[in-house]
Structure 1
Amino acid sequence: MFSFLKKPQQVPAWAASFFKADEFDAFMQALESVLASRELRYQIVDSVVHLNGHAALFGQMGLLNLAQTCKLSSPANWERIIQTHFHEMEQNANFNRQFEQQVKDYDYVKEFLAIRLFNKEVPKDGKEIFVKKDFAGDAFTMLSFDLPQSVVNVKPEQARWWNRDPEELFETGKKNIEKKYSFDFSRETVSDFDIWFIRDEHHFVPNFVFSLDKYPALNGEYGSLIGVPNRHASIIYPIENMETIQAVNSLPFILSGMFNEGPGSISKNLYWYYNGVFTTIPYELDEGKLTVRPSLEFVQVIEKIQAEQ
């Protein structure tokens, strides 16, 4: 095993929002131990492990989501979590080799199509690697494959092979996820007001936004405040009364924390869903101080609620 790993003097930017220096060192030690046990040659560049040599069944692995997953557990479990992740990646690599042989056959791949929300800041190496649609704020809708051990993006050249209208592909992906996954809603009290949470282990919890009108309890008279901080969690606050001001002043702290923790971070934005449209309620958090800059339309709705009460 050849190691190119040098322990950094400080936590790199990609991990600084959730790891302290000693936690990052512990994570890297656990990672290096797993790599050594598998006799892998590797190089770590930013948040990616590049693998090579005869023992490597796949070429590279991102560390951000893995590190965020470890952060949610005791450090004593990190090496086991990393080993499990490698095992799943290897299983996925084996499946992918078979999948790639049939990926041009739309009748075969259509059952694997999915859509999911993704953050716009993901690195792309200067070229477009996604089939996507705008959503709102800092998130977009991405066409994906929901494979047995992983979720991967559909590449633009793959979508061209099938010669299908993009809207058909996105609609197929939407329906596939609706059939395969459920959303577990729970109503909880936070900061003296009630909000709806959705939490699950699968990667498609935020997909409820594509079917929001199917859930009347989540839609207030004046719409809803929505948060999709990561792939495993979503937040909904139906707008009915002046308590909305308290929600607007509290939710950014919750969303920012859940986004930083991950795994699978999607959006820090606070969204307002109203009349079938998602818009953002811009805010800034600076050393614990919150500044909110709502749109004129949102202010007018709040004024209308106030006048009615």
Structure 2
Amino acid sequence: MKRDDAPDSTNAPDHDLPMLTAAQAAHLRALAALYSEDGHHHPLHNLAHKCRQAPQAQWPDLVAAHFAALRQASRGGESAEELLRGAHARLLPVESLTPDAVGSLRYARVVADGLVFAYALDGPTSVRILTDEDVERAGLEALGQAGRANLMRVPVEHAEVPIDGGVRLHSLYGDSPFVASQALFLSQAVHQVTGQSLPDAGALVAVPSRHNLVYHPIADGSVVDAVNCLAAYALGAYEDGPGALSPRVYWWYRGGLTSLTVIDDDTRAFSIQPPPRLLGLMKGLVRLDGAGRLATRAAADGPGVAEHTNATAESTAGLAQDPAGLGSAFASALALAHTRCAADPEVSHIDTWDAWATAVQLGSALFTGSQPQECHLGEDLAVQLPAMPAEPPADARAWLDALYLAIACRQMDRISRLCEVPPTRLREDDSVDEYVLHWIDTLQTYFSPDRSSMDGVVEKLVATMQTSGPDGVTHAPLDFVNRIDYQPVALFHRLIARDHDAFAKALAEALSDHGGYWGESAAPRAQVALGPLAMASLAYDYGFPIDPKQRYLPTYLLNRERIEEIPHAGSPSSGP
């Protein structure tokens, strides 16, 4: 007699049919054995899901109906025309390729962990998987074209599912057993149903059952939470069945599927392990999104002037007790400077200038340290920036923001000191692409004391340009790179060539791309093209014929009319 606290192995999940206990699975296999022919065994996963939801007294009838449908579906003999008319590309669970089936499905292939690609014939009363003989009769190329076309004609419904934390999942669902198979051609399916295109980075995808496909476009920092949401959903929906397909989360990228889910075969434990390229994308998107650089709903719904003013004042005032908050204080000040330009795009008011000056002070202090100084936030509101040591963070894009601000506000001393920040420190930022680091190297070389030769600048600019193409970008969305991030590089190229006409053309393109990227967004960074403003300010000072009244370029910063003295940065170890 076993002890009361001893585990009952018959009540544990079956290893191959985890939706049933070991005892239930053994009972189901015994019922199915009555219908095996010449030792041929059929997959039982879908049947197991049906049985789990019914009393065991009904199992014999369910098993009989299941094998009757299989016999009906396996008759075959259709003409080539009939095959092409009804064939659909189909995703199958990898366990459906039993040793008996493999011999007649040599054309089928594994397209991702747990998923097999094959063709299925959608008949009036049943669906059957096409064999090698069917494929030969219809012709592989013709079958491929027909299978895709028929699959994409399958009717599906679309629903957008908001999740706590700002995550939005998209569900494609329907009665057809081919809905989930549209993951094979996800870009086409999404555009067909929603009218929108997937981002260059692709999408996270789950296909828990053949009737349901859930995806999340990889476009912003919510991708991290989306992975966890999809993982929980995929496993739960897969176990609910019937029609179970896969419990995994996949990355759809450039037409291929890569499993992010790793399953321990011994313990059945699940974990998520993104491949290096996706991990790099996720890091880059989180950092970009957190800094408000991406044109997302969250960026447009952010705080206004009053909230940014309070956040900047509070975070700056708190630096005496918590110097580690300087990065957050700079981010708030930068957002305030941009946000004030929504109502004052020319920076004609003193309150707007104060916001820009404060952003300059905090950005420089973040990377180079500073002596105590007063920061003005308008309407007689001033906060004290305490003495800060030079402890530059490994944040390459924040350094660029600080430099762009210093250039636009003509702070030559701060520009020089920012360019003395060790490149090795900025290279520790693993959230940026290589071209960003080359661009920083270019600017630091350009503003170095020894500018007798431009050879080093040109060499590093070429490296920036060469690494900013689609093959070299692995961390940032290509749309953001092409329309926002690369534009200062293109302008600098024309600047050092002293090509006035080419610079004017590149500036017009940069401002057009800025407007096209942000649209009518109310996000802070939508208000000013900061990088192009910095390059235009340099060009203006070099005598380039630049119209100072252009959208996204604050007129009175560009033409220097609003530029006033900003408290001296100084050196933390020197006097004021």
- TM-score normalised by structure 2 residue count: 0.41
Matched with 1:19 is 20
Whether 1:245 and 2:224 are equivalent positions in the alignment is yes
- Distance in 1, matches of 2:73 and 2:262, equals 43
Q: 2:274 aligns with which of 278, 294, 299?
A: 294
Kindly state the Cα deviation for residue 229 of structure 1 after the two structures are TM-superposed: 1.7
Which residue among 60, 67, 91 is the counterpart of 2:48?
Answer: 67
**1:113 to partner: Cα distance:** 1.6
* Residue identity matched to 1:172: A
2:82 is paired with a residue whose SS is helix
Name the structure where strand makes up a greater proportion of residues: 1
Secondary structure, counterpart of 1:202 in structure 2: coil
Structure 2: distance between partners of 1:287 and 1:92: 33
Q: In structure 1, which of residues 271, 274, 279 is the aligned counterpart of residue 258 of structure 2?
A: 279
Residue 302 of structure 1: how far off its partner (Å): 1.7
Q: Distance in 1 between matches of 2:205 and 2:91?
A: 13
Amino acid across the alignment from 2:278: F
- SS, match of residue 228 in structure 2: helix
Structure 1 segment 206-225 matched on structure 2, within 5 A: 206-214=180-188, 215-216=190-191, 217=196, 219-220=198-199, 222-225=201-204
Structure ranking higher in helix proportion: 2
Residue aligned with 2:116, SS: strand
1:192-207 equivalence runs, <5 A:
192=165, 193-207=167-181
Equivalent residue letter for 1:306: V
The equivalent of 2:130 in structure 1 is 154
Instruction: Give the match for residue 50 of structure 1.
Output: 34
Residues 1:186 and 2:159 aligned together? yes
Match of 1:3 in 2: none
Does 1:119 pair with 2:93? Answer: yes
Residue equivalent to 2:550: none
Deviation of the 1:151 alpha carbon: 1.5
Contact 2:211 2:243 in 1 (8 A): yes
SS at match of 1:125: helix
Q: Which residue of 2 aligns with 1:140?
A: 116
Could you say if the C-alpha distance between residues 94 and 258 of structure 1 is closer, same or farther in structure 2, counting changes exceeding 3 Å? closer
The C-alpha deviation readout for 1:254-285, integer Å capped at 9, x for no partner, is: 21232233323322332112333332224457
Distance 1:289 1:161 in 2: 43
Q: Distance in 2 between matches of 1:249 and 1:233?
A: 18
- What is the CA RMSD across the aligned residues, in angstroms? 3.6
Distance 1:294 1:258 in 2: 21
Gaps of 5+ in 2: 1-8, 290-576
How far is 1:304 from its partner?
2.2
- Change in 2 beyond 3 A, CA 1:300/1:289: same
Deviations 1:181-231 (A, max 9, x none): 211111113454221122333211112223322324472453210111221
Seen in structure 2, the aligned counterparts of structure 1 residues 287 and 90 have a Cα distance that, compared at 3 Å, is closer
Secondary structure, aligned partner of 1:51: coil
Kindly indicate whether the alpha-carbon contact (under 8 Å) linking 1:198 and 1:235 is maintained by their aligned counterparts in 2.
Answer: yes
The 1:308–1:191 alpha-carbon spacing in structure 2 relative to 1, beyond 3 Å, is closer
Cα distance in 2, alignment partners of residues 210 and 291 from structure 1: 23
CA pair 271-150 structure 1, distance change in 2 beyond 3 A: same
The CA distance in 1 between the partners of 2:101 and 2:123, in whole Å, is: 26
> Computing the radius of gyration over CA atoms, which structure comes out larger, 1 or 2?
2
Partner Cα separation in structure 2 for residue 84 and residue 291 of structure 1: 34
Gaps of 5+ in 1: 1-7, 32-43, 54-58
Shift of 1:106: 1.0
Contact 1:89-1:149 at 8 Å conserved across structures: no
Tell me how far apart the structure 2 counterparts of residues 307 and 233 of structure 1 sit (CA, whole Å).
32
Give, in whole Å, the separation in 2 of the partners of 1:92 and 1:276.
Answer: 32
Match of 2:498 in 1: none
Q: Tell me the equivalent position of 1:41.
A: none
- Report whether the alignment pairs 1:129 with 2:104: yes
CA distance in structure 2 between the aligned counterparts of 1:172 and 1:231, rounded to whole angstroms: 20
Kindly tell me: are residues 87 and 302 of structure 1, through their superposed partners in 2, closer, same or farther at Cα, counting changes over 3 Å? closer
The letter of the residue matching 1:182 is: P
What SS does the corresponding residue of 1:48 show, helix, strand or coil? helix
In structure 2, distance between residues paired with 1:292 and 1:87: 38
**Aligned partner of 1:112: which letter?**
G
Letter in 2 for 1:18: M
Offset of 1:91 from its aligned partner? 6.6
Shift in CA distance, 112/60, structure 1 to aligned 2, threshold 3 Å: farther
CA shift digits 1:36-73 (9 cap, x unpaired): xxxxxxxx55x8343389xxxxx9875431231243x4
* Residue 168 (structure 1) aligned with residue 142 (structure 2): yes
Take 1:195 and 1:289, find their aligned partners in 2: how far apart are those partners? Answer: 24
C-alpha spacing 1:277/1:147, structure 2 compared with 1 (3 Å): same
